Structure formats: structure tokens, C-alpha cells
A and B are shown apart, each in its own frame.
Chain A
Amino acid sequence: MVQVMFVQTDTELILAAREGDGSAFAELIRPQYRVAFRVAYGLLHNADEAEDAVQEAAFKAWLRLGNLREGASLRPWFLAIVANQCRTVSRSRWWSVVKAESPEGEGRSVDLAAAVDLRRALLRLGHDERLIVVLRYYLDMPFEEIATTLGISTKAARTRVERAVRRLRPIIQIQGAAF
């Protein structure tokens, strides 16, 4: 039996999604799902909240699909919506104690302590600074893509990364001394 696969292009998927086809929009963002989840997890430090935030952001992105400019890259546009959704989640819980989940590999107590310290240090950064650290050092994004995602210049992206790193430096240095 011959199977015929229809592979829709992004343009076709966008058109279908604009007509109200949720599956088409899901297909469109499938390549971005993992990176979107990692942005959300990097900002919220909670897998359940990160999954929920990406889902909520996906709905919002679908509704705003008309705002995506012709020829513009989907990824930075979608990641910006995910980041904004995470900001909303953080706002709604800003007074609560953030119970960050333990990273995997709990057998390594020194590594675990260092990881927990770093995550606490990240949580003490403001949303925008944490976002820029996540984009740069967790997603390994070049400055140009960070700039596109945040809607700022490449120079401003570099400056903001440097500034966030300065805030993290004490904790990094102390961990370095422990190894």
C-alpha cells in the first residue's frame, strides 16, 4: 500500500490556522515547542507552570496570528509571547514563595547544591534579566536573535546580557571556589 503524505508548508499552515484550524497552528509551532518550554521553564522554574504557560501563550499566539508580519520568523515572535505569558504568571504569584523543583541527578550533592544556588540566584533577577540570561545561556541564542525576540538592538542585547551576568557573578564565583 502506498502512503501519500501531504506536507504542508508554513505558509499553508498559517493560512489554515487563520481560518480557525487549531491542528494547523499546533503543527506550525511544533518545531518551537521544546525551545518555548525551555524559555518558560527557565523563567518559572516549574515544569507544570511552564507547560501551562506555553499552552496559554499558544492560544494567544494563534489569536494574534494576523499580527505576524509577512516573511517574519515565527520563533522570536512566539517566544516573545511565551515570555510575556510567563511575566503574567510571575505577576500573579509574586508574593508567593517560589518552590523551585530540584534538578535531575540528585545523587550529586555538590552539583545539586550548586544548581539550587544558581537557580535561586536566577530567581532573584527581574523578569527581563532572567529572560535574557535564559535566551543567551540556556538556549545558546546569538545576540542578533535575542535582539529580534526582545525587539531591541543587538548592542542593547549585549549590554543587557553583560548587566545580568554582573548580577550573577558573585554566586558564580563562589560556586567556582567550591569545586
Chain B
Amino acid sequence: MEADRFKQLTIREVQTGIKTGEFSAEELRKEFLTKIEKENPNLNAYLSVFSEKLTDTPAGALHGVPLAIKDNINLAGQITTAGSKILASHRSVYDAAVISKLRAAGATFLGKTNLDEFAMGSSTENSAFGVTKNPCDPTRVAGGSSGGSAAAVAAGLAVAALGSDTGGSIRQPAAFCGVVGLKPTYGRVSRHGLIAMASSLDQIGPLTKNVFDSALLLNVLSGRDPMDSTSVDQPIVDFTANLDKPIKNLKVAVPKEYFGSGLDSQVSETVTRAISQLQELGAKTETVSLPHSQYALAAYYLIMPAEVSSNLARFDGVRYGLAEAGDDLLDTYLASRSAGFGAEAKRRIMLGTYALSAGYYDAYYLRAQKVRTLIRQDFEKVFEKFDIIVGPTTPTTAFKIGEKKDPLAMYLADIYTVSVNLAGLPAISIPCGEVAGLPVGLQLIGRPFAEETILRVAHQYEMTKSK
């Protein structure tokens, strides 16, 4: 296969290629493995690669489609590190719910992709296994925390990938690498087998080359799972069915808070142009206000670390993962956790522990949960009158590796994405142009469980853009 074709190859083209006999599932997988072997040492998108020959590949909707999986999702028999030294040699014992579904649909797996430790970060610089480089410019980050998945798709080292999104971890790297990233509604996709970071915010979703593939993967990933009691029973729909339905007279809200200070002026211009294009497609746009937007990041940096401190308490050097034997149990805990966790994990565990500790709970954690209510209500109010909300995915294009040394400066990279997780809404980032050769992402936010609408708008924007 020609080098350029890998970067373009979509799920639909794989289906056609296998059907017409252009390649078999095994041949295609081998071609990808060869390319990964050659290019991954520079890119560091994959942490592990699966070279075993295919045995059984069911004839489902994803028959023979080679995928990359973020390394915080369990795949039985394979190493799952979550980007952390504490799980460096941990072997998964079971498949995550999403992996079982993908297997049943006939997908194949190329390997596990790099991420910030336990998905905590916006650049993969917090990975214990080195940074992932941006395929558009190797001196820049691929974004994070699903940076490995975004880079693998953008560089043509996978047809599509899975990521997880707690505060922007699918959408931000998708924007930085120029691919499509979808965070489904909280509860749409089972989290069973995803290594938990912040359980009330985490959601698994696809990173793909186009919107159609995103819809196709969502078809397979969706559905209530008895193993995840927060997953929601929703009617089964085909997300690809209505992608071409016209968006004439669709009501589009543009929050003024998403275009304030901090937004790069050229990114702003690029996103504004994309919004005008939606108007040309017949959508009606109007400026609105989400008055509590400015408080989202602060609320997020209390709620998320609180949940992190609780979820990461299970890593104790006793049952699995890195163990540093101490004189007694407490020594073992202290030694194992201090040796196994990186700086950002320690920072967030301590921040969360502080916010939950006696005397500070009301002032920090409880107050943040109340602000979460205000942020959710802001969205509810706008969605009474509008079908979708649009704006930039990130305030800037991909930044340089090593550029953001202060943790708070790094946190600001997620300023437009975190409120979506706090409100549990679906959102997609799609490429909408470039600034100085670097991709810009347009974020479309929908009502709860209205993935169909954001996918439809995204698809039609994508079609006119490529014309």
C-alpha cells in the first residue's frame, strides 16, 4: 500500500478493500505492523504492539479493521500500564466491555497507545514512558491525555483508535493532531475495564479520520452494561443513518465566553470561519452566554482530584502492580506509592485528599459540586432554545514539548472542554483548518444523548469543507 493511503484509510475503505479482495484482514494488519515498526520509534504513539497472527475474526461491522487502544483500557492477556510506572508490568486479566464489543464486531487490535499517567494531563508529557510527538510537527506535543491514540490515527499507524475523556482527553489531542474525536454522553458507553481516573467524568470514545467512522464506532461501543451501573439504557440507533439529513434551520448557539481572552486570535478567526460555513449550510447561529463558564476549570480541579485520590488508593503494593517491600504494611504502602506514581499523579492525589479532608470538605469539594450544578444549568438553559453549541476545542494549536512547565498553565489547555464533562454532555472535535501548518479543532456540543445531532452537523461541515 502507498504511504499516503495509510493516513487516509477509513473503516469504510477497509470494508470495501476486504470485500473486493484487495487485501485480507491479516495482510492489512501486517502492513500496519510494518509501518508501526518503522515509524513508532520516532513518534512514540504505541507503548506495546501485538504481533501475534490473527486467529478468529468474526464477520461483524468492523471485520478486519485494525484499531489502536489507549493503554488505560484492559485487553485480556496484554500489558496495561495506564502510562504509569506502578503498572509497568501489569497484565490485564479481562477484556473491558468496549473491547468485548469490538472483538464481537470483528475488529483487530494493533497495540496499546501512550497517555499521560492515569490519563492525567494534556500533552502525554506525564507518561512514565516518554512523550508522544505530534505527527504534524515532531517538536510539538500530540496533546493529551489520549495523545498516543490521536497521533497513531493522524500518522496512519491505525485506522481508528479508542481514547478516554475526563476533561478533554479525546477532543484536545484530536484537535492538536487534526483528527475527529468524540466524547459520548456520560453513561452512553460502559466504563467497565477502563482504569478509573475520575469516575463521575470519565467516558470512552473514538478517535477517527472522519465523522462517518466516529458514528460507526459509536454504534458498536454504545449500550447499557450490567457491569457499569452508571451506563444508561437508551434506544439503539444507527448513528450513521441520518448523517446526510439537512441541517437547514438548525439552531446553533455560540457562547461569547468561549471567545474571550486567552483564545489565540488566529484560532479564533479559523473557528469563526467554520461557524460561517455552518450558516451557509442553513443553520441559524446566535451568540449566547454560559455565565458560569469561567468557574468550570476551578470546579473541575477540585472534583476531579477528589475522585482521583479515591480511585488511586487501590494501588498499594499489596495485590498487584509495583511493590516495594517495607518493614510493615504502612511502610509498604508508602514505599510502593512513592516509587510508583509520577509527579502529576502525586499532585492530584494530594490536592484531592486535601479537598476531601475534615475541615475543608465544605469549602472545597461540596462548593465545587454546587458550582457543577450551576454549570449544568447554564447548558440546560441554552439547550431549551438551541440544538447545538459550537466553539473552539482548544485556546491554541499544539504547543512545544517542554513549553508548559507550570501545572496551572497546562490545566488551562482544557478551558473549553472541562465544562462538557462536568455537565455530562456529548461533544465532538473536528478539524476546521490550520494556523501556521498546525490543525485547529471545532467543538460541537449536544444535548444529553443527542450524539446523532452533533455527528450530523459535523459530517455535513466535513463534506462541504473537503469540496
Chains A and B are bound partners: no
